[in-house]
Structure 1
Amino acid sequence: MTDRFTGDRIILEDLGFYGYHGVLPEERTLGQRFFVDLVCGIDLSPAGSTDELGKTASYAEIYNVTKAAFEESPLNLIEAVAQRIADRLFAAFPDIGWIKVRVRKPEAPISMVRGNAAIELHRLRENG
């Protein structure tokens, strides 16, 4: 089986946000830090050969779409947060063919001294 998440990519790592996502009332009231990592599969050869911003997806705009998606209404699950980010990126950037979204929650309400609770979604653009 071949990996469908290959080729060129735009990567944004360790994007920090403060949000009110979570199941517990304290998470919805007090909020907490979250970190998002993105990998967007996109053909970068037109931008590489022309040196023109219009031939790629701007990572600044990818960040802006991600931030807006994250800051929409609070959700219970970080899985739903990641899915919303993926959906908004696919809608905003038609040249992105696949996306990996990782959402990390370092202050998850579990008894860990150090580390992150995290999920990662891998999504292919649906043709339709």
Structure 2
Amino acid sequence: MADKILLKNMMFYGFHGVFEYEREQGQRFYIDVELTADFDQAGKTDNLEDTIDYTAIYSHIKEIAETQRFQLLEALASQLCDSILAAYDRLQAITVRIRKPAVPIPGQIDFVQVEIARSR
């Protein structure tokens, strides 16, 4: 099945990181989510109830990314995958990518990205 909804480059301000200053000062995180499901019925009915409401997905991500705190991007991405997959029966698979531009690496780098995928 190749039907997908993509939410790209969502920006949230969160307090995630291994170092104390990251958890105190916070920073921007950029998140992509790829949702895989069968959207054939939605294509036929043109009804929101036959698909996955991406505005609800956005709110779900925002709530977790901005109110919870994680040391690792892997933990944040896993929490997003697991909670969204559990909340939406129609969803067959999810991939979450999180980019962190301000990383404590002594060199030139655009960002660090973590990608976590889950499926039924």
User: By the TM > 0.5 criterion, same fold?
Assistant: yes
Q: 16, 20, 25: which is aligned to 1:21?
A: 16
Q: Deviations over 1:71-92 (max 9, x none)?
A: 2321100000000111111122
Structure 1 vs Structure 2 CA RMSD: 1.1
Whole-angstrom distance in 2 between the partners of 1:109 and 1:115: 12
Any unmatched runs of 5+ in structure 2? none
- Aligned to 1:48, what secondary structure does the other structure show? helix
Structure 1: 5+ residue runs without aligned partners? 1-5
Alignment of 1:1-128 (within 5 A): 6-125=1-120
**Residue type of the partner of 2:22?**
E
Moved more, 104-113 or 56-65: 104-113
Between the aligned residues of both structures, percent identity stands at 38
Q: Any idea what SS the aligned residue of 2:16 has?
A: coil
TM-score scaled by structure 2?
0.94
Following TM superposition, the consecutive aligned residue runs of length 4 or more in structure 1 with deviations greater than 3 angstroms are none
- Could you tell me whether the CA contact under 8 Å between 1:66 and 1:88 is conserved in 2? no
| Shift, 1:114, TM fit | 4.0
